[in-house]
Structure 1
Amino acid sequence: MPSYPYVLLSAAVSLDGYLDDTTPERLLLSSPADFDRVDEVRASVDAILIGAGTIRADNPRLLVNSAERRAARVAAGKPEYPLKVTVSASGELDPAANFWHTGGEKIVCTTEKGAQRLRRAPVAADVVVLGAELDWRGLLEHLREVRGVERLMVEGGGTIHTQLLQQGLADEVQLVLAPLFVGDPDAPRLFGPGGYQGGRLRLLETRRIEDVVLMRYEPTAPGTGVLPSAADRHWLALACDLAERCPPSETAFSVGAVVVAADGTELARGYSREGDDPVVHAEEAALAKIAAGDPRLATATVYSSLEPCTRRASRPAPCARLILAAGVRRVVTAWREPDTFVVGADGSGVLAGEGVDVLVLPEYEKRAKAPNGHLLP
């Protein structure tokens, strides 16, 4: 399963949802203090991404402006500036733009056709070819696995923000609301039409910064099928946290589990040996808190820090069978069960054999193993 960076969408909008007006000059929506906050966020990430349209419209430098923050990056063993990334299907880019001539390393992610154009009119950046079409998952996989990017800040434009949200690839939205109206139907808006993931986003923070307001949100709706979404990672991280709450045991793993409806509503959570039951398993504990026949289970996702068991001595029904009996058709886990207690356990295989979509996100394996270190070789 490919791994992706943490994707943070950052934007400022007017009260009526516009990114800019239609005048030649850039509309300044943020306050001076908020510009400094953005600089701080830039200094904290490994890469910053903008679209080719933003380069054409704004000609940004996309720098960390604070010398102190740049020095702190270098002291931490990082490059002085984050990697700068742009995306262009056509490859139509101005070689004289500020983007190419300031800051540190830069890459252009493009299509096969765009790469041909860039060979004829090169820019000062590495070129990454994503295929015949732009592929956001391929781009994010390249950034994480080839470039080592763990945190990616996306500063626009609206089309890119929209696509990342609609594909379930944005981990966080940082939205600044400015106290003015644009009112021009021809001006660019932050989000466009189309199919977004359902459910309400979770509010992480609100903060007044001079005369603007920062709002931070994270998506909650699980992904669909075998493609991971950003919300899948949030929920699996919670399952790993729940595993830390398990009473210690020398004869059983410590596991956490969460059951989440398709709209992002948490239905139940549980962990191994929860309450007064010394043999209850995490998935079993969570499912027991949901009414049998709850219609939301058919489209729900079970998140478990360890793949559901297929054999157990303590109870007749293993967790994989409990999940199937509940009607759940999607499971996300961090770690395949080792042979410590059951040789050849294959909960993922049993579930998949019954038509359940099973995802294993190995980037969470270390967290899932942490409370079980005493049981592992």
Structure 2
Amino acid sequence: MTRPYVLLSAAVSLDGYLDDTGPERLLLSGPADFDRVDEVRASVDAILIGAGTIRADNPRLLVNSPERRAARVAAGKPEYPLKVTVSASGGLDPDARFWHTGGEKVVYTTDAGAERLSRTGIAADVVPLGPALGWRPLLEHLHDVRGVRRLMVEGGGTVHTQLLQQQLADELQLVLAPLFVGDSKAPRLFGPGTYQGGRLRLVETRAIEDVVLMRYEPTAPGTGQETSPADRHWLRLACELAVRCPPSSTAFSVGAVVVDADGTELARGYSREAGDPVVHAEEAALAKIDPADPRLAGATVYSSLEPCARRSSRPRPCARLILDAGVRRVVTAWREPDTFVEGADGAGLLVDQGAEVVVLPEFEARAKEPNRHLLG
């Protein structure tokens, strides 16, 4: 699926609550962090909140800084990001501030919810997704129809939970406030259920007045043809490794990473690594792993170029090395052209032997960059 980069943003108490049960919203951070959030809002194409957040907080959801709004306009963007909400029932107050401030708004709802909203005259584009809501069609519509490439999600807890559990969040920006709520009836950030395996990757920590910002990325690969945000991270890394290859006029520059199902990197490699003029990226990476390592059976190989199916410099091509290692999932950026091997089809060999091959074409240009002298 094609979808925006999804950034989850939230502030929580030390005991994991988004708010208390008092009549006023609990402010978990201060002016400096509010300004940081404003900066992030100004950087995205759309901001999404759930219907429950509109009902509970009645937010305006604006970019408050005039300078940031002016910079958006100067860059050819709307003054405000698109404001998005989701409601299965369509039970939204048309007088809420969300609809009457900022720029364009869109509501994703069900067929029944759209019928209900049509009677309210709500000031928004109403998009029905069928008899039930689904995050994947919603994100595809935002990407393909509304042109959203970066989406900031500001809540509430149910929305954050669902996006993480469905492996649709690329980044989590979590602010930890130095206080306790201690009320079991108060809303929590994350609910029970099944999340990705393994640990998230800590990208950044930053003290902002008395709160701490922590930025995390998922690490666990997808399964089968279902991609996860981590697939994009690991393929991006493979493309970066390709840039490190010694130049060659007779072979492509390729990077590869082998990752366990829980998101643990097992090995990485790149073409012509360590001065070997004929070593391939996947070969270099797999050579660093014990062939008896049981994690290989559930691992994913990320390669910036489709693994080779035929080669003259080694007895086994990379597609065969991957299969012999027990790996049954490969993610790549582009298919091998006929530059050196006519009719190359490493993906076909892998699929014929029961492996899954996922191609992420949005990385094709990046993977081709270190090979442009070979492609004409």
- Which TM-score tier does this pair reach, normalised by the shorter chain? over 0.9
Alignment of 1:137-216 (within 5 A): 137-216=136-215
Distance 1:133 1:284 in 2: 46
Q: Who is 1:17 aligned against?
A: 16
Q: Who is 2:261 aligned against?
A: 262
Is 1:3–1:363's contact at 8 Å kept on the other side of the alignment?
no
- State the shift of 1:186 in Å: 0.6
Q: Who is 1:26 aligned against?
A: 25
Helix, strand or coil at the partner of 1:270: strand
Output one character per residue of 1:44-80: Cα deviation in whole Å (capped at 9) or x when no partner.
1111010011011111000000000000111111110
Give the TM-score of the pair, scaled to structure 1: 0.98
- State the shift of 1:129 in Å: 2.2
Root-mean-square deviation (CA), in Å?
1.0
Is 1:158–1:189's contact at 8 Å kept on the other side of the alignment?
yes
- State the shift of 1:353 in Å: 1.9
Q: Who is 1:303 aligned against?
A: 302
- Residue type of the partner of 2:135? W
Is 1:240–1:255's contact at 8 Å kept on the other side of the alignment?
yes
Structure 2 alignment gaps of length 5 or more: none
Distance 1:133 1:342 in 2: 48
Q: Who is 1:349 aligned against?
A: 348
Q: Who is 2:313 aligned against?
A: 314
- Residue type of the partner of 2:311? R
Q: Who is 1:334 aligned against?
A: 333
Q: Who is 1:274 aligned against?
A: 273
Structure 1 alignment gaps of length 5 or more: none
Helix, strand or coil at the partner of 2:275: coil
- Residue type of the partner of 2:85? T
Deviates more, 1:87-96 or 1:189-198: 87-96
- Residue type of the partner of 2:56? A
- Residue type of the partner of 2:143? R
Deviates more, 1:232-241 or 1:129-138: 129-138
Q: Who is 1:36 aligned against?
A: 35
Is 1:13–1:176's contact at 8 Å kept on the other side of the alignment?
yes
Counting matched residue pairs gives 376
Q: Percent identity?
A: 82
Distance 1:102 1:41 in 2: 18
- State the shift of 1:318 in Å: 0.8
Q: Who is 1:129 aligned against?
A: 128
Q: Who is 1:286 aligned against?
A: 285
Distance 1:294 1:363 in 2: 32
Output one character per residue of 1:273-297: Cα deviation in whole Å (capped at 9) or x when no partner.
1112111111111001000121000
Distance 1:303 1:79 in 2: 37
- State the shift of 1:161 in Å: 0.5
Helix, strand or coil at the partner of 1:203: strand
Distance 1:161 1:79 in 2: 26
Deviates more, 1:95-104 or 1:133-142: 133-142
Helix, strand or coil at the partner of 2:273: coil
Is 1:19–1:189's contact at 8 Å kept on the other side of the alignment?
yes
Give the TM-score of the pair, scaled to structure 2: 0.98
Helix, strand or coil at the partner of 2:174: strand
Distance 1:159 1:217 in 2: 19
Q: Who is 2:250 aligned against?
A: 251
Q: Who is 2:69 aligned against?
A: 70
Helix, strand or coil at the partner of 1:149: coil
Alignment of 1:356-371 (within 5 A): 356-371=355-370
Is 1:303–1:333's contact at 8 Å kept on the other side of the alignment?
yes
- State the shift of 1:119 in Å: 2.2
Q: Who is 2:54 aligned against?
A: 55
Output one character per residue of 1:267-318: Cα deviation in whole Å (capped at 9) or x when no partner.
0000011112111111111001000121000111110111111111211211
Distance 2:267 2:121 in 1: 54
- Residue type of the partner of 2:349? V
Distance 1:230 1:193 in 2: 21
Distance 2:70 2:153 in 1: 23
Is 1:13–1:29's contact at 8 Å kept on the other side of the alignment?
yes
Output one character per residue of 1:82-115: Cα deviation in whole Å (capped at 9) or x when no partner.
0111111111111111111111111111122222
Distance 2:46 2:258 in 1: 33
- State the shift of 1:121 in Å: 2.5
Q: Does 1:229 align with 2:259?
A: no
- State the shift of 1:247 in Å: 0.6
Output one character per residue of 1:107-142: Cα deviation in whole Å (capped at 9) or x when no partner.
111122222222232311112222322211111111
Helix, strand or coil at the partner of 1:159: helix
- State the shift of 1:251 in Å: 1.0
Distance 2:145 2:44 in 1: 16
